[in-house]
Structure 1
Amino acid sequence: MTLQEISFTSANGRDTVQAWVYEPVVPATAVVQVVHGLGEHSRRYLHLVTTLLDAGVVVVAGDHAGHGRTAMESGVWADAGDDAARVVVADELTLQAKARALLGDGSLLPWVVYGHSWGSMIARAVATDPEARLSGLVLGGIAAQMHGMEQVLDRPALAALATGDHAADPAPAELVGQLFDGFLDRYGPGAGPTAWVALDADVVADHARDPFNNFGAPLSARFLQGFVDLYDQVNGDDWYAHVPADLPVLVLAGDQDPVTNYGEGAYHVANRLVRSGHADVRTRVFTGVRHEVHNEPTTRAEAEREITDFVARVTDQPHER
C-alpha cells in the first residue's frame, strides 16, 4: 500500500481539511471515495479500506470540517461554518479534484463514492454535480425517513438560532434530542446513548472512546441547520430528477437502524430511484443489525462483499460522464 496525504482549505475558509489517498500494490481498477458520517472520522473505515485495497481499488477519504483530524488541527468540533450543507459537499468535490490530480493517469479510473449516514447525504449531493463524473454510488446507513427530522424537530426555532451573532453557539440539547427522537426505543431499558450505532457492544464502546470521534461534542446551531438543509435537499423530489439516469446505485442498511427508519428508508429511496427512471439500483437490508453494517462483526464481510462486487461490476461496465 502507498499512502499519500492531502490537505486543503475548506470551503468555509477556516479549516484545513485532512485527507488521505490509499493506493494498492497491484494495478488499480477503480477508485472509491469514502465519505464518513456525523461525529466520526474516515479511519473508522480502515477494515473496508483494506478490503478494497486487496481488491485493487484506490481509496480516497478525508475528515470533514468539525470532525476527526481536521477538527483536531483547528480545535473546532461539530461546526462547519456558515452554510454547512454547501461547505461539506464542496469539500468532498475539492478532495475528489485534488485526488484526481495526485493520481495522474489513475484519475481516469471509474470513480465510486461511498457515503455512510450523514455521509450518505453528502454523497447524494455529490452525485448530482456534473463535475463528480461518477461511475457508481453506494449509500450505507442511509439517512431517510428519519422520524425526529420529519415529525418532531422544531424547525422554526432552529432557524431562528442558526442565524445572527450566536449561530456558532451550541444548539440547545432539546433541539438535538428532537433530531434523534426515538433512536433508542427498540433497544430495551438501559440502552446506552449510542446503542443505535451497532448491535455489538464492543463496536459501540469503541465508537464512544475514540478521541477522533468526539461524538458528544455539542453541535453548533448553524451546523444542525446545515444538517437539516442537506437532509431536505437529498430527500426531496428534485434530487431524484438530478441523479444521472444511468448511474448505478447500491443501498445498504440494517433493519434495526433508526437512521434508515429501520430499513424502510432504504427501500423508499431505492424505489423512488427506480420509479424516476434509474434502472440499476440494488438494495440490501441486513436483518437484526443496527446502523454500522460495515462494522458489525456479523455483517461486515457481507457488506464489504456487496461493495467490492458493486465496484467490480461498474468497473467492467464503465459509464460515460
Structure 2
Amino acid sequence: MLHEVQFPSYNERDTVCGWIYVPAAKPKGIVQLIHGYGEHSRRYLHMISAFVDAGYIVAADDHVGHGKTAMMNNTWGDWGDKGCHTMMEDEHALTGIVREKYPELPYFLFGHSMGSFIARDYAAKYGAELTGVTICGTAGVFRGAGEAEEELKAVVDSGHGDEADPSYAGKLLGWMCERCESSALGNEWICSDPYVQKDHAEDPFDAFTKPTLNRSLYYFTQMMRVITGKEWAEKVPASLPFYNIGGDQDPVGNYGQGLYEVSNWLHDTGHQVQTKVYPGYRHEIHNYADIRCDVEQGIIDFMDSLI
C-alpha cells in the first residue's frame, strides 16, 4: 500500500511532497528515508523495496528545492529563508504524519549524504523519539565548508541571497572528482558505474545540475557547522544507537576519514555506534549492483537488532 502525503514546509512557503510505503504483512517498524543534496527519494526504490520486504513501513519525501516538491512549488534550488534547520523540521513533520497513521512502532532514520546531515541534526533535537539511526555517505569536517560559510554570509547579507552563483557550489563540490579517472559528467564521484552516472545526470527530478541559490548554499554550510564535533554528539541522547556506513573512496567522507571522525565523536560521548566501511567504493554504496543487497541487509540487521 502507498500513501501520498503533502504538508506545509517549515519555510512557511512550500508544500512538501511525501510517500509512505506499507508492507502487506503486519509491519514491525518504520524507517524514514532522507535523501541527499540535489536528488530525490525515488532514487531509493531498490532500498525502499528491500525495507518493505523486510517488514518495515518506509516514509520518504522530497526536500524543499528538490524533486517533486521543487517541481510543484517551482522552487528548484531554493530552500526558503527560514534557516538551516528547515529540512530537519520538515522531516520531523513527516514523522508526525506517519506516527498518526501507525503509532507505537519502533522508528528509525536512514539518511544518505546531506540526508545523513539532516538525520544527525534531527537526532540532536528529536533523538529521544527514535529507536536507531543509519547514516550513509556522511561527512566529518567538510572540506572548505567553513571558508564558504563566511563568504556566502557576506553575499547573503549584501542582498544577493536570492541569486544563484554556480561558482560557490563549485567551491563546495567541484573538487569531488579529484580521484576519478574521468569527469565527463562531473558526477562520477557518486559511483563508478556509468549506468548510475547517466541515470543521475538525466533524471528530470534531479536538481543536482540546476543552480542552487546562494542563501540555500549558505544554509548548507551552516548545517555542516551544527552537526560537527563532539559538541553535536553531546546533544544526541546517549541511548540512541547509530550505524555509520560508507565507501572509502567517497570524497564526502574524506575517503573514510570523515566516517571515523563522526563515529569517534559519538563513541567519545558515550554512544553505541557501529561503523562499516566498504573498500574501493565511492559515495553511493547503495547504488552499486554488486554490494547494494549487502548494504541494505546490513541496515535491516541493525534495525532488527534493536526491536
TM range (shorter): over 0.9
Q: Which residue of 2 aligns with 1:299?
A: 291
Deviation for aligned residue 1:85: 1.1
Determine which of 109, 112, 133 is the counterpart of 1:113.
Answer: 109
Deviation for aligned residue 1:239: 1.0
Asked if the contact 2:185–2:201 (Cα under 8 Å) also holds between the matched residues in 1, the reply is: no
Distance 1:24 1:125, change over 3 A: same
Deviations 1:149-171 (A, max 9, x none): 25xx443321111235431111x
Distance 1:102 1:163, change over 3 A: farther
SS of residue matched to 1:294 = helix
Deviates more, 1:129-138 or 1:269-278: 129-138
Q: Which residue of 2 aligns with 1:163?
A: 157
Q: Which residue of 2 aligns with 1:249?
A: 242
Asked if the contact 1:3–1:20 (Cα under 8 Å) also holds between the matched residues in 2, the reply is: yes
Deviation for aligned residue 1:189: 4.3
User: Structure 2: how far apart are the matches of 1:108 and 1:42?
Assistant: 25
Over 4 Å off, 4+ runs: none
User: Structure 2: how far apart are the matches of 1:187 and 1:4?
Assistant: 40
Deviation for aligned residue 1:191: 4.8
Q: Which residue of 1 aligns with 2:306?
A: 314
User: Structure 2: how far apart are the matches of 1:277 and 1:139?
Assistant: 18
User: Structure 1: how far apart are the matches of 2:124 and 2:141?
Assistant: 20
User: Structure 1: how far apart are the matches of 2:288 and 2:174?
Assistant: 23
User: Structure 1: how far apart are the matches of 2:216 and 2:109?
Assistant: 23
How does 1:170-249 map onto structure 2 within 5 Å?
A: 170=164, 172-249=165-242
User: Structure 1: how far apart are the matches of 2:68 and 2:183?
Assistant: 32
Q: Which residue of 2 aligns with 1:57?
A: 56
Percent identity over the alignment? 39
Deviations 1:235-273 (A, max 9, x none): 133211011111110001111110000111111111221
Q: Which residue of 2 aligns with 1:318?
A: none
User: Structure 1: how far apart are the matches of 2:47 and 2:155?
Assistant: 38
Q: Which residue of 1 aligns with 2:135?
A: 139
User: Structure 2: how far apart are the matches of 1:163 and 1:71?
Assistant: 25
The code of the aligned residue for 2:111 comes to G
Distance 1:173 1:282, change over 3 A: same
* Ranges in structure 2 where 5+ consecutive residues have no aligned partner: none
User: Structure 2: how far apart are the matches of 1:137 and 1:222?
Assistant: 29
Give TM-score, length-normalised by structure 2.
0.96
Deviates more, 1:31-40 or 1:210-219: 210-219
Deviations 1:38-67 (A, max 9, x none): 000011111011000110000000000000
- Residue 261 (1) aligns with residue 257 (2): no
User: Structure 2: how far apart are the matches of 1:65 and 1:135?
Assistant: 26
User: Structure 2: how far apart are the matches of 1:81 and 1:232?
Assistant: 19
* Ranges in structure 1 where 5+ consecutive residues have no aligned partner: 316-321
Deviation for aligned residue 1:174: 2.4
Asked if the contact 1:253–1:266 (Cα under 8 Å) also holds between the matched residues in 2, the reply is: yes
User: Structure 2: how far apart are the matches of 1:130 and 1:52?
Assistant: 23
User: Structure 2: how far apart are the matches of 1:299 and 1:253?
Assistant: 12
Q: Which residue of 2 aligns with 1:319?
A: none
Deviations 1:122-162 (A, max 9, x none): 00011122376000000001022332325xx4433211112
Asked if the contact 2:230–2:266 (Cα under 8 Å) also holds between the matched residues in 1, the reply is: no
Give TM-score, length-normalised by structure 1.
0.92
Deviation for aligned residue 1:102: 2.1
Q: Which residue of 1 aligns with 2:69?
A: 70
